Every structure is written in C-alpha cells, then in structure tokens.
Amino acid sequence: MSEEVKVFGFWSSPFAHRVVLALRLKGVPYEYVEENIFGNKSPLLLQYNPVHKKVPVFLHNGKPIAESLVILEYIDEVWKSNPILPNDPHEKATARFWAKFFDDKCMPAIWKAFWCPDDEREKAVEEACGCLKTLESALNGKRFFGGEEIGFVDIAANFVGFWLRTIQEVTGLELVSAEKFPDLLKWSDEFVKHSVVKESLPPRDKQLEFNRVIVAKYEAGEIKA
C-alpha cells in the first residue's frame, strides 16, 4: 500500500473512534497518531485543523479533513466496500438526519446532564431523556440503526453504545437503562459486542479510570457543562 491514510485521534474520543471504526469496518489500513488533548496540541494537528484545532483529523495522501461526520462521508465515498451510508437517496438523507440529530441535540443534552451544576440536573436529565427517546424511535425494531449491519447512525451514536454506560457506572447517574430505554440498551449491547467494534474500543477499565479523573475535575470545578 503506497497511499497515506492517517488518523489523528485521542484514545478515549468517541469522535476519533468513529473514524477508526469506519476504516476498520472497510478493512482500510491506516496509521494512527495519538494526540494529547490535555497538553499542547501538536503542530501537525494545528496545521491540519486550524479552524477547530481538534481531533479527529483524517489525512489521505497529504490532504486533511476535519469533522468526524464529514470524514465518514469521505471514507464511504472513497472506499466502496462495506458501505456505511445506504445507497437509496431518501434512506441516505434519513441516516444523515439522525446523525445530525445525535450531534446537534443528543450529545450536548447528555453531556449537560452529567456535568451541569446540581441544581440544573433534573431539567437537564429530562431533556437528555427526551433526546434519547427520540433517538430510540429511529431504531424502530431494527438490530442496528443501519438495519442488519452497522451504519452511519450506529457509528455516530457510538458514544451511547459504549462511553455513556461507562460514565453512568462511575457517576451513578443512569440515563439509559432497561426500564427507560430497553431498545437502546439492547442496541448498545449489540453494538459493543460486534467483532470490529469490540476490537477497536478503548479497554473498559482504562475508560472507567479516565472517567474517574473527569469526575474529579468536575468536582474541582475544572469542567463545566
């Protein structure tokens, strides 16, 4: 393989993991570059993503792309095997709609529910649960959002599939449970046990330990929603 395929990520970033997962699902070999998101950003990260200065950055034959959903679209277009977006234009639009809903509404609401001041929590949890209920409706009895296979929305919602449950475990705040969101919980189980997902996720213990560090930072007032 003479072509250059590089991912600049951070091991615990669900957004960087989206890119890694898409490449692995397609069997595209890549080089992974770990960034230190708490320390100094590397000169290459700043060069390739000067607007947001964030991971993930995807580099293909010298050309950089930022924004994880934009990268997923690019990967799906360049490497055709194991498509992650449906071929039908309306189904494709529907997948894009839900991925956008996840990023615009679900992620901020979930994040706020965990890291807001205590006196705002009840309302924040209510809003997050409203978003999760809407997200769950998109499953509509399917195994994955993408149907029988993992697709664009499954990859986009990976935070709910893995990270959310590890944060629930550490904080004790349960947003997704068998009682509240049985279909979403079942999807999450299916997602994390998928062979390609499983082998690319961070080690669970390492993630739990990282969450404890985040909780300590939150309690020290260093992190705010």
Give the binding site for its own copies (CB under 8 A). Answer: 51, 60, 63, 65-67, 69-71, 73-74, 77-78, 89-90, 92-94, 96-97, 100-101, 134
Give min distance, CB of 124 to its own copies, in A. 19
State the SS3 of 194-225: CHHHHHHCCCHHHHHHHHHHHHHHHHCCCCCC
How far is Cα 34 from Cα 38, in angstroms, rounded to an integer?
Answer: 12
| Residue 147 DSSP label | B
Give min distance, CB of 14 to its own copies, in A. 17
How far is Cα 121 from Cα 49, in angstroms, rounded to an integer?
Answer: 34
Cβ nearer to its own copies, comparing 92 with 142: 92
Cβ nearer to its own copies, comparing 106 with 197: 106
Give min distance, CB of 33 to its own copies, in A. 19
Give min distance, CB of 109 to its own copies, in A. 13
Contacts of 150 (CB under 8 A, 6+ apart): 21, 25, 84, 144, 191, 194, 196, 197
Cβ nearer to its own copies, comparing 93 with 213: 93
Task: Give the H or E element holding residue 109.
Answer: helix 107-115
Cβ nearer to its own copies, comparing 69 with 201: 69
